[in-house]
């Protein structure tokens, strides 16, 4: 069984008795956890947050120390940690997928999401609810008082020594000669000589927040102060000192004391300087990146933080708030009263000006500060045929669209629409400013999206602050007019049909040059009494006992590779296997007999005489242009270490043909069964995981690294080779073979959640600056098969819509067959065909038969939900479902040299030779998404009457030496095929291996 490593979103072992409680909602205006908090943009992990909340941190390793212990801890938005002894403000459970932001300190862990907390519980008993102390020395509680950021009841905000408690706050106010002290919002302290702005007592329940520094005490609430009165003697007027080193003029605080802006050279990092006092929050925040409130805030600390995050603007507001950005947004502008409006002392230095209520002291590292207008919805200058539809409400925590991208710094209508459109999604929505969602128009109604008022979509785009990108659970919705993708639904689709019951669950299926299907399966690890190999005569399918011939292998071929060789017998070779000796296995079979007549040959194997140089499980194989055999990649067997090398057969006596490939070492275990093809320009194309490159055909050094393959619209790490198994082919090559060759790869899966990919990607690897083209499929598909057909189209079939290859690792079988037609325009090449009733999952195959049908076999998921599948089906493609008689032809020369001209005699029943086509289809072995040997050619030909002359392909790079099925097509209808060999046997495989237990056909 193949094991797949998935992201450990929650560590399997947490500190102490802490356990995960799942994902819960949060709100920036009313936090679900209201105790101590800290932010770490580099090293936040679940373990670090728990250590902080449990009070066991000593301040080491970048984790702040705090004295109290809390029983709940929560991580949010990748970098934030919150603590509490209670779950506050009506928080509710959210779907686990909402908590999808990787922790900044460990990308294999998830630290909440936007307005979502990953919640953790220590198992402890909650303490008694916090209370406000009635007396603190000579200070007496006078109750809970109303407050407002625009009209302070106590007007002087101060910083305290250490974490916030009522004791620390009254001590600071007493030290500064104030009569009154008040604590608010868990971590804020205010002082004054009297009550201002109509402040007065309110219900004590409004003062409901535990103190940051002592969870047993209350420290006010949102816009609510626990107020204390000093009953002793005040010794003098309140006094505040100017900052050391001097500063520029700022303003006068509410007690008449001066506060200063920092404009002294050398105090701030160069070239930072004061820009001015700006009006905030008239139309939303004017700097978009807010940090958690900090009672020890100074101008220097805020500027240092913003500078470290590569922002060019830093803003301080309301004594304790720090903001960063690169532009002043939301119509922000200088306050008309100038610097005097920014008159609140910083929490960490009361002589420095840190803004005021809705006033922000802004510092800049550039000479010019860009002021951006109030953002509006972008309705013009949209890419392509996209149009704005309106503001859409999401159904609570559920989502309208399936694919989320968080574009923290670059979300915009242009970027989001281009991203969704590139992957074929005609509906897109932006939300929360930095989220881009992709899907289909039908998703809106299906998933409960409803119209919302335009004012609900009021969040500026993270990458375009003059335009809006949705809001809280609100999508700015755009739709592509006219559709991006056309999926055809032809009247004639062909159909699946039952062929015969099986005695084997194949792992590899091959159509031999005797027109019989050779199956190999697990031997020793498969069903009891299996011999590991069988041959099926399709012409005898009506008689089960005659149709099957038992054959034999000696070692386990589980997850090996097969090819048809270009020797004159059309031998089949099978290499690699499951474990130990079988991974070194080289097995050969000479197809014999004929349809209706049994053969007698069997697989030949002797590991003591002939074996691979490296043992391989899950290798790929290919015949090279020089006729030798390339075997590449794999593992050492039984989920063992990688074998990141290739080797060439035949191996010379005493020689070593192995070459280590560092890129296979680096991408293990996601690169098994890589896709390999000979290129007309002389190189070898190889695709593995989500990468591709071209290798020199002699040294196997990399000559060109190609762009990475696109994955899912929301996960660029989507892979295409085992275990995230897609399938690959080379598109048809047409005489005179001057057009660039195209590689097509369909399906695959993503790491972690293992959502199958719903697209095909293609590339012309030999073209300068080659890029991948994405074409969406009608459904997701992993573990798929792709079958070249004689009319130049490709059947896409088998597989699942979720999971990865391996035992028990996939669900949702994909029963739909598709037809891919490369002669049609991109995004209009796929037709939806018929469905099967048979689940074809891991270890399923599909191969073209000589009569033009497709034989479909296998499925061995080792999963009680999906049985092992013995039934053999055939699919009759549309070209055989129109009632037309198949053409016929005769051929005598079946061994072609390159550029040779070969005569055939044809008999057509519908059209003429003017509308006729001829195709050459390479011999195929099908396993694990690979069609080893597949190649399609449409050669040049000319006809006189019913005699036609075919010109063979020109050379071994355009057409590697191989056996091919020749088909004549009368309009859409193919003939039965005849086998021919093209290119001979340049590596003299017919004389290899010259060993006692192997029969040689000679050259």
Percent of the chain with pLDDT over 90: 75
Q: What is the pLDDT of residue 836?
A: 97
Q: How confident is the model at residue 96 (pLDDT cuts 50, 70, 90)?
A: confident
Q: What is the mean pLDDT of residues 887-904?
A: 98
Three-state DSSP class for residue 840: coil
Query: Is 936 within 8 Å of 917 (Cβ atoms)?
Result: no
> What is the model's pLDDT at position 244?
35
Token pair listed for 112: 């909440």
Question: What mean pLDDT value characterizes the chain?
Answer: 92
Q: State pLDDT tens for residues 596-616.
A: 999 999 999 999 999 999 999
Residues 6+ apart with CB under 8 A from 52: 36, 38, 63, 64, 66, 73, 81, 83
pLDDT exceeds cutoff 60 at 367 = yes
pLDDT at 667 (0 to 100)? 96
pLDDT reading at 7 higher than 70: no
- What are the two backbone dihedrals, phi and then psi, of residue 569, each rounded to the nearest 5 degrees? -90, -10
Residue 156: pLDDT band (50, 70, 90) is: confident
* Lowest-confidence region among 102-116, 549-563, 814-828: 102-116
**Residue 187: is its pLDDT beyond 90?**
no
User: Tokens 């600071």 belong to which residue?
Assistant: 172
Query: Per-residue confidence at 153, pLDDT binned at 50, 70, 90?
Result: very high
- Take residue 872 and report the two structure tokens written for it: 């053999």
Residue-level pLDDT at 671: 96
Q: How far apart are the first and last CA of the chain?
A: 41
Q: Which two tokens stand for residue 137?
A: 């020395």
For residue 732, the SS3 value is coil
* pLDDT given at position 6: 30
Would you say residue 431 has pLDDT above 50? Answer: yes
Both structure tokens of 954: 């020109």
Task: Provide mean pLDDT across the span 748-769.
Answer: 95
pLDDT at 635 over 70: yes
Which CATH number applies to 495-880?
Answer: 2.130.10.80
pLDDT band at 253; cut points 50, 70, 90: low
pLDDT mean over 375-404: 94
Query: Is the pLDDT reported for residue 869 higher than 60?
Result: yes
Q: What is the pLDDT of residue 25?
A: 92
pLDDT above 70 (res 29):
no
Token code pair at residue 395 = 């159904």
Q: With a cut of 80, say whether residue 239 has pLDDT above it.
A: no
Residue 246 has pLDDT above 70, yes or no: no
Across the strands, what pairs with 684?
Answer: 678, 695
The Cα 141–Cα 197 span in angstroms is: 20
Q: Containing H/E element for 49?
A: helix 46-53
Per residue in 343-353, pLDDT (tens digit) is: 899 999 988 99
Q: Which of 33-42, 152-161, 391-400, 431-440 has the highest mean pLDDT?
A: 431-440
* Confidence at 1, pLDDT banded by 50, 70, 90: very low
pLDDT at 505: 93
Q: What is the pLDDT of residue 63?
A: 85
Q: Kindly state the average pLDDT of the residues 668-672.
A: 95
Reply yes or no on whether the pLDDT at 67 is more than 80. no
4-13, 88-97, 119-128, 136-145: which has the minimum mean pLDDT?
4-13
Please give the pLDDT value at position 250: 56
Overall average pLDDT of the 978-987 stretch: 98
**Contact criterion met (CB below 8 Å) for 154 and 194:** no
User: Closest Cα partner for 766 from 788, 791, 737?
Assistant: 737
Q: If residue 281 lies in a helix (H) or strand (E), which one and from where to where?
A: none
pLDDT at 108: 80
Instruction: Kindly tell me if the per-residue pLDDT of 328 is higher than 50.
Output: yes
In degrees, rounded to 5, the angle at the alpha carbon of residue 872 between the alpha carbons of residues 871 and 875 is 130
**pLDDT given for residue 249 in this prediction:** 52
How far apart (Å, rounded) are the C-alpha atoms in residues 291 and 38? 9
Predicted confidence (pLDDT) at residue 652 exceeds the cutoff of 80: yes
The pLDDT assigned to 34 comes to 82
Task: Locate the DSSP E strands across 137-237.
Answer: 139-146, 156-158, 180-184, 188-192, 224-230
DSSP code string of 774-794: EEE-SS--BS-EEEE-TTS-E
Q: Return the bridge partners of 969, or none.
A: 917, 974
User: Percent of the chain scored above 70 by pLDDT?
Assistant: 97
Query: Domain boundaries in the chain?
Result: 19-121, 142-230, 273-364, 386-484, 495-880, 888-982
What is the predicted pLDDT for the residue at 737? 98
Pairing type for strands 659-660 and 645-649 reads: antiparallel
CATH of domain 888-982: 2.60.40.10
pLDDT given at position 223: 86
The token pair that represents 803 in the structure block: 């999971």
In this model, does residue 242 exceed pLDDT 60? no
576-597 pLDDT, tens per residue? 999 999 999 999 999 999 999 9
Q: What is the pLDDT of residues 925-972, one digit of tens each?
A: 999 999 999 999 999 999 999 999 999 999 999 999 999 999 999 999
């Amino acid at each position: 069984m193949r094991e797949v490593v998935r992201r450990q979103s929650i560590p399997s072992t947490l500190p102490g008795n802490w356990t995960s409680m799942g994902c819960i909602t949060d709100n920036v205006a009313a936090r679900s956890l209201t105790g101590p908090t800290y932010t770490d943009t580099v090293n936040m992990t679940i373990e670090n947050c728990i250590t902080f909340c449990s009070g066991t941190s000593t301040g080491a390793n970048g984790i702040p120390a705090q004295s109290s212990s809390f029983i709940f801890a929560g991580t949010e938005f990748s970098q934030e940690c919150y603590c509490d002894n209670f779950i506050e403000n009506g928080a509710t459970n959210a779907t686990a997928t909402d908590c999808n932001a990787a922790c900044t300190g460990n990308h294999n862990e998830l630290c909440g999401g936007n307005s979502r907390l990953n919640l953790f519980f220590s198992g402890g008993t909650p303490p008694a609810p916090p209370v406000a102390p009635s007396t603190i020395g000579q200070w007496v509680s006078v109750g809970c008082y109303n407050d407002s950021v625009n009209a302070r009841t106590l007007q002087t905000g101060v910083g305290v020594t250490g974490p916030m408690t009522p004791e620390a706050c009254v001590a600071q106010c007493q030290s500064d000669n104030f009569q009154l002290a008040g604590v608010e919002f868990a971590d804020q302290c205010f002082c004054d000589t009297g009550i201002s702005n109509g402040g007065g007592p309110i219900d004590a329940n409004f003062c409901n927040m535990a103190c940051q520094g002592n969870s047993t005490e209350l420290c006010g609430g949102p816009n609510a102060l626990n107020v204390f009165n000093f009953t002793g003697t005040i010794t003098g007027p309140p006094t505040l000192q100017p900052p050391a080193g001097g500063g520029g003029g700022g303003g006068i605080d509410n007690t008449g004391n001066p506060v200063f802006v920092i404009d002294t050279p050398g105090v701030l990092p160069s070239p930072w300087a004061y820009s001015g006092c700006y009006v905030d929050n008239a139309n939303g925040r004017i700097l978009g990146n807010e940090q958690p409130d900090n009672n020890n805030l100074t101008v220097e600390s805020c500027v240092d933080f913003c500078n470290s995050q590569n922002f060019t603007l830093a803003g301080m507001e309301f004594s304790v708030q720090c903001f960063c950005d690169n532009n002043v947004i939301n119509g922000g502008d200088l306050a008309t009263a100038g610097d005097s409006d920014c008159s609140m002392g910083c929490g960490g230095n009361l002589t420095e000006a840190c803004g005021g209520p809705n006033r922000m002291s802004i510092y800049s590292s550039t000479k010019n500060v860009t002021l951006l207008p109030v953002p509006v919805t972008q309705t013009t200058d949209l890419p392509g045929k996209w149009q704005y539809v309106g503001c859409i409400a999401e159904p609570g925590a559920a989502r309208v669209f399936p694919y989320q991208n968080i574009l923290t710094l670059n979300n915009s209508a242009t970027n989001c629409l281009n991203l969704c459109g590139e992957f074929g999604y005609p509906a897109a929505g932006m939300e929360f400013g930095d989220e881009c969602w992709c899907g289909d128009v039908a998703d809106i109604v299906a998933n409960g999206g409803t119209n919302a008022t335009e004012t609900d979509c009021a969040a500026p785009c993270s990458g375009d602050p003059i335009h809006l990108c949705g809001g809280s659970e609100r999508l700015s919705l755009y739709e592509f007019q006219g559709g991006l993708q056309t999926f055809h639904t032809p009247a004639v689709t062909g159909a699946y049909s039952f062929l015969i019951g099986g005695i084997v669950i194949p792992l590899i299926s091959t159509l031999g040059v005797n027109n019989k299907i050779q199956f190999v399966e697990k031997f020793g690890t498969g069903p009891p009494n299996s011999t590991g190999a069988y041959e099926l005569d399709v012409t005898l399918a009506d008689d089960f006992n005659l149709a099957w011939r038992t054959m034999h292998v000696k070692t386990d071929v589980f997850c090996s590779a097969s090819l048809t060789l270009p020797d004159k017998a059309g031998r089949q070779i099978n290499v690699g296997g499951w474990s130990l000796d079988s991974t070194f296995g080289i097995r050969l079979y000479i197809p014999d007999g004929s349809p209706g007549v049994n053969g007698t040959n069997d697989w030949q194997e002797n590991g003591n005489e002939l074996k691979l140089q490296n043992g391989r499980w899950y290798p790929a194989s290919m015949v090279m242009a020089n006729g030798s055999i390339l075997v590449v990649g794999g593992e050492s067997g039984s989920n063992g270490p990688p074998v990141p090398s290739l080797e060439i057969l035949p191996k010379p006596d005493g020689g070593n043909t192995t070459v280590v490939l560092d890129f296979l070492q680096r991408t293990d275990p996601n690169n098994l069964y890589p896709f390999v093809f000979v290129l007309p320009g002389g190189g070898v194309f190889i695709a593995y995981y989500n990468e591709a490159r071209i290798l020199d055909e002699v040294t196997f050094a990399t000559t060109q690294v190609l762009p990475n393959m696109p994955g899912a619209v929301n996960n660029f790490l989507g892979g295409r080779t085992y275990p995230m198994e897609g399938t690959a082919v080379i598109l048809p090559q047409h005489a005179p073979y001057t057009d660039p060759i195209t590689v097509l790869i369909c399906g695959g899966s993503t790491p972690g959640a293992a959502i199958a990919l719903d697209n095909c990607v293609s590339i012309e690897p030999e073209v300068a600056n080659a890029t991948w083209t994405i074409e969406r499929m009608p459904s997701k598909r992993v573990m798929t098969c792709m079958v070249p057909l004689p009319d130049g189209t490709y059947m896409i079939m088998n597989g699942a819509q979720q999971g990865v290859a391996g035992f028990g690792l996939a669900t949702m079988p994909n029963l739909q067959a598709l037809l891919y037609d490369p002669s049609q325009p991109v995004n209009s090449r796929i037709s939806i065909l018929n469905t099967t009733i048979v689940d074809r999952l891991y270890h399923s195959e599909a191969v073209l038969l000589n009569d033009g049908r497709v034989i479909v076999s296998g499925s061995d998921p080792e999963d009680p939900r999906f049985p092992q599948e013995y039934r053999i089906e055939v699919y009759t493609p549309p070209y055989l479902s129109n009632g037309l008689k198949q053409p016929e032809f005769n051929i005598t020369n079946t061994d072609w040299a390159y550029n040779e001209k070969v005569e055939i005699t044809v008999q057509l029943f519908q059209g003429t030779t003017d509308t006729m086509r001829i195709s050459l289809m390479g011999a195929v072995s099908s396993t694990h998404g690979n069609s080893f040997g597949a190649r399609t050619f449409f050669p040049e030909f000319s006809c006189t009457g019913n005699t036609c002359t075919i010109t063979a392909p020109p050379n071994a790079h355009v057409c590697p030496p191989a056996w091919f099925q020749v088909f004549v097509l009368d309009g859409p209808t193919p003939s039965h095929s005849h086998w021919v060999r093209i290119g001979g046997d340049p590596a003299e495989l017919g004389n290899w291996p010259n060993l006692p237990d192997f029969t040689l056909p000679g050259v």
